[in-house]
């Protein structure tokens, strides 16, 4: 994902036992479009009876540092996930060969 020229979002879904129960590329396109995908993301998670999720997206610039918008949208998504009893484990940002875990960086809350 780190070498792609367009930003994509990968949704990884996990069951109650922590096993991967589904995944999907949420789409290609503009970085600002993640907010528009909330409904689709949650519908897919509930359809697969997932209890948790990890999001992964790339930065075509090669810089894995989460943008202010990434942080804002991740926090909004975390709030919605919490309200829906869905565990939001992490949001990983990939830039070139590097990965930043927003949870480890303390950016999710």
Structure tokens at 12: 């990884």
* Residue 99 predicted with pLDDT over 60: yes
Strands of the sheet with 87-95, listed across from one edge: 20-29, 7-14, 52-58, 87-95, 98-101
pLDDT digits (tens, 9 = 90+) for 10-29: 999 999 999 999 999 876 65
Q: Which helix (H) or strand (E) holds 83?
A: helix 68-83
Work out the average pLDDT over 25-38: 60
CATH no. of 7-101: 3.40.140.10
- For the entire predicted model, the pTM comes to 0.87
> In the chain, what are the domain boundaries?
7-101
Taking CA atoms, 84 is separated from 9, 29, 35, 50, 88, in Å, by: 21, 27, 16, 11, 10
């Amino acid at each position: 994902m780190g070498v792609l020229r367009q930003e994509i979002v990968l949704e990884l879904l996990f069951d109650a036992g922590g096993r991967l129960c589904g995944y999907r590329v949420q789409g290609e396109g503009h970085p600002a479009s993640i907010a528009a995908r909330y409904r689709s993301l949650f519908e897919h998670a509930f359809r697969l009876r997932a209890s948790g999720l990890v999001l992964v997206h790339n930065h075509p610039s090669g810089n894995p540092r989460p943008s202010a918008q990434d942080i804002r949208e991740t926090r909004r998504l975390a709030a919605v996930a919490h309200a829906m009893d869905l565990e939001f484990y992490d949001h990983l940002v990939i830039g070139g060969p590097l990965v930043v875990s927003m949870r480890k960086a303390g950016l999710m809350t």
